[in-house]
Amino acid sequence: MQTQDAPAEFLFKLWPWLEANKNRLIGVAVAVVVVSGVLYFISAQKAQKEVDAGQAMTSLMVNEAASESSSQTAEDYQQLAEKYPGTAAGKRAELQAAGALFDAAKYSDAQVQFQKYLDGNPVGPLAAVATLGIAASLEAQNKPDQAAAAYQRVVSVFPDAACVPTAELALGRIAEQQNKLTEALNHYQDAARSQLGGSSAQEAMIRATELKAKMPAATPKPAPAAAPAATPSFTPMTIPQPTTKP
């Protein structure tokens, strides 16, 4: 009997405390309901914003094919990105705007837009694409050394990205233009070996084959080694290279 009365006794003792603190408890309960409602509203708004941004992005991509101006397309994408910041479609629109600027031959503006996307999204597969876009924009501006450094960042920072073979192909192309034939061949072969290479891998294989055919004729025969002087000296700017006997 004593056990059955224990809950009633507990409530009897608790009741005065509840009465004394009922206003505070009601306030806490109301606050919990309000916070829950706000969080639900924010979540619903965010989900709806993602839906609206996705629909706007789809519509813009459909209309892009009919547009005659890459500059106008870039502006449209930029406006979409500004209207839906933080959404997946908004982020993609930033990248699409950069690509449209590149297609419009506005390479400096494209570089800035690619960099803007990369600053806000430094990781992920699209970050690799943005870095590749920066490199291509630099190459189009006839800045081969800066372009090569950017292409190398694609390879080093995003080794698993699908655009790595394209970067390797570009590195080979720049090295070949600078008459760095061995370096170019290495890049071509790396691109050709990639399982994700696609057309870049195929082009790299063709370029590697052509380069191998040119290299024997392009590489001069080494001059015979000079006899060492009676008293050898060391000059920091001229470091003798080791020679090997045939």
Q: How far apart are CA 151 and CA 139, in angstroms?
A: 10
Residue 75 in any domain: the answer is: yes
Residue 90 in any domain: the answer is: yes
Residues 102 and 136 both lie in one domain: yes
Nearest CA to 114 out of 205, 141, 237 is that of 141
Residues 78 and 115 both lie in one domain: yes
Residues 182 and 131 both lie in one domain: no
Residue 40 in any domain: the answer is: no
Residue 7 in any domain: the answer is: no
Residues 93 and 132 both lie in one domain: yes
Structural domain containing residue 185: 162-217
Residues 172 and 210 both lie in one domain: yes
Q: How many domains does the chain have?
A: 2
Per-residue pLDDT of the chain (246 residues; tens, 9 = 90+): 455 566 666 656 666 776 677 677 676 666 665 555 544 434 444 466 567 656 656 666 666 555 557 778 888 888 888 888 878 888 888 899 999 999 999 999 999 999 999 999 998 879 999 999 999 999 999 999 999 999 999 999 999 999 999 999 999 999 999 999 999 999 999 999 988 768 999 999 999 999 999 886 554 545 555 544 443 333 343 334 444 444
Last residue of a domain, one of 140, 175, 198: 140
Residue 8 in any domain: the answer is: no
Q: How far apart are CA 116 and CA 142, in angstroms?
A: 21
DSSP 179: T
Residues 81 and 127 both lie in one domain: yes
Residue 104 in any domain: the answer is: yes
Residues 185 and 134 both lie in one domain: no
Say which amino acid occupies 231. T
Scanning 179-232, the segments in alpha helix (DSSP H) are 181-193, 199-218
pTM exceeds 0.85:
no
Residue 23 in any domain: the answer is: no
Residue 56 in any domain: the answer is: no
